Amino acid sequence: MDQLIEDQRSYFRTGETRTLKFRKNQLKRLRNAIEANTSSILQALKMDLNKPEYEAYASEIAFLYQEIDHAVRYLKRWMKPRRAKTPLVFAPASSSVLPEPYGITLIIGPWNYPFQLIIAPLIGAIAAGNTSILKPSELAPHTSRVIAEIIDKTFSPSYIAVVEGGAETTQNLLDEKFDYIFFTGGTAVGKVIMEAAARHLTPLTLELGGKSPVIVTDDADSDTAAKKIVWGKFINAGQTCLAPDFVLVQESIRENLIERVAHYIRAFYGENPQKSHYSRIINQRHFERLSKMMDRGRIVAGGEMDASDLYIAPTVFEGISLADPIMKEEIFGPLLPVLSFQTLDEAISVVNTFAKPLALYLFTKNRESRNRVIHETSSGGLCINDTVIHVGNYFLPFGGVGESGLGVYHGKDGFDTFSHLKSVFKKSSRWDIPFRYPPYRRSVTFLRRLFE
C-alpha cells in the first residue's frame, strides 16, 4: 500500500494528469471500459443484490454515461481560470481563481449501488486531474471484483488502482496520507472517516443518508404521489440513501393514499414480489436488523419475509409513533411507515424534530405550502412532486447537510469538489503605493477615507 501511494504521488508530480487532453482521454477510456463490461457488471449486481437488469442498468450504468459525456463536453470550460474582481485600492492588479487538482484521492464506496457510487466520484476525480485509489465495498464482493478487473485492465495502478478488502483494509488506507477523501456510506462510519482524515488535515466529502421524509398535502394528486413514493421507496428493496423513509400524509386523504400505495405495490411487483423483479436484502445482518423493526404498528400491505432468500416484501405500516424503533434510525430497507397530520405546521414540526435528511419530498399543488416547506425546513435536497429522480440532474449539486453529509458532487460540482480553487492575485510592477510601507506618515483618517 505504501508503494502504491508513493507510485501515484510520483506519477502525479509528472504533471501528466493536468492537461485537458489527458483528462478527456481518460474519461473516454472509462466510458468504453464500462460499455465493454456491461454484461459482467449487471451479472455481478444480480449476484450481490438480485438487481433486475433494467433497474441495474438505469441506476448504475446509464447514469454514469450521462455524467461522463457531460464532463467531456464542458471540461475545457471548467478548467479555465475564473476571473474575479479586484478592489480599487489594490489597483493596478488582476485576480482569478484557478481550479487545480488535489493530488492523490481515496474514494470509498458503499454496497447498495456498489458500481455507480464508486465510479461517479471517480469521474469527478479524473476530470479534476487527480490520481485515485478506489476501495469498493466488501459486502458486494462480486461487484467489487468486477470493478477491480475493469480498472486494472484500463488504467495503470500509478494512476488509478483498486484496493479490495474488509474493514481492516479500509483502516489501513485511512492510516495513510491522502490529498482528498470521498466517502459514501452510513453516518456512523462517516464519523470514523472524518476522524481519520482529521489526523492528516485531509479535506473530504461525506455522502451519507438519514430519514428522508415525504409530505403529502390534501390538495396533492394522491394517485401520482402513491406511484412515485412506491417507485422511490422500493427500488433496490429500499436500500437507497435517497429512499423515502417515512410518509406524512394529511389525515383527510390518508386512507386513499394508503390504498393507492398498496395498489402500486401490486402493480409493480405482482401478488408475490418474491417471484418478481425485486431486489434482496444485502446480507443476514441487515435482514435481522430490519425484521426487528417490524414488531410495532399495523401492517397494511406486505409483511412477508424469507430469511433463507434474504427477502422482505414491500411493507407498509400504520399506527406508528415517533417513539417506535422504526422511527429512531434510517430504515434502509423496504419498510414504509405512514403517519398522518392535520395541518402543515404539524408536518413541518415533525420533519424538524429529526436530523437534517439527505432529501425531503413534498407532494402538493399549493404554492404557499411549497414555499413554506422550502423556507422552513432544511435538507440536502428538496424534491417536489417526485421522489429520488433529482439525483439524476447533473446540473444540480448533490449532497447532504449536517448528519446527512458534507460536500456535494455531480457535474461541475464534482469537478469543483476534487479541485482546489486556488486564488491568483497578479500585481502590476509599473506602480507601487508608497504609503503602505513604514515609516507611516499618513493618518488613520486617511486610511479610513481611502478604504471607504
Query: Cβ(67)–Cβ(75) under 8 Å?
Result: no
Among residues 60, 67, 241, 403, the one annotated as catalytic is 241
Kindly report the number of other CB atoms within 10 A of residue 199's CB atom.
10
Check the CA dihedral 12-15-16-22 and report its sign.
positive
Is 207 one of the annotated active-site residues of the chain?
yes
Question: Which of 99, 100, 102 shows the shortest CA–CA distance to 9?
Answer: 102
Is 241 one of the annotated active-site residues of the chain?
yes
d(CA 39, CA 45): 10
Element (H, E) at 426: strand 419-427
Q: Which amino acid is at 69?
A: D
Grid cell at residue 428: 502590476
Q: How far is CA 308 from CA 112, 143, 275, 295, 401, in A?
A: 20, 22, 14, 20, 37
Grid cell at residue 402: 449536517
In a 13 Å sphere around the CA of 140, the CA atoms on its Cβ side amount to: 33
Grid cell at residue 139: 459486502
Question: Which of 241, 184, 197, 239 shows the shortest CA–CA distance to 408?
Answer: 184
**Is the bond preceding 439 in cis, omega lying within 30 degrees of 0?**
yes
Any bridge partners for residue 249, and if so which?
Answer: 216, 340
d(CA 409, CA 85): 26
Among residues 60, 67, 207, 403, the one annotated as catalytic is 207
Element (H, E) at 62: none
3 state DSSP class of 390: helix
> Catalytic positions, please?
207, 241
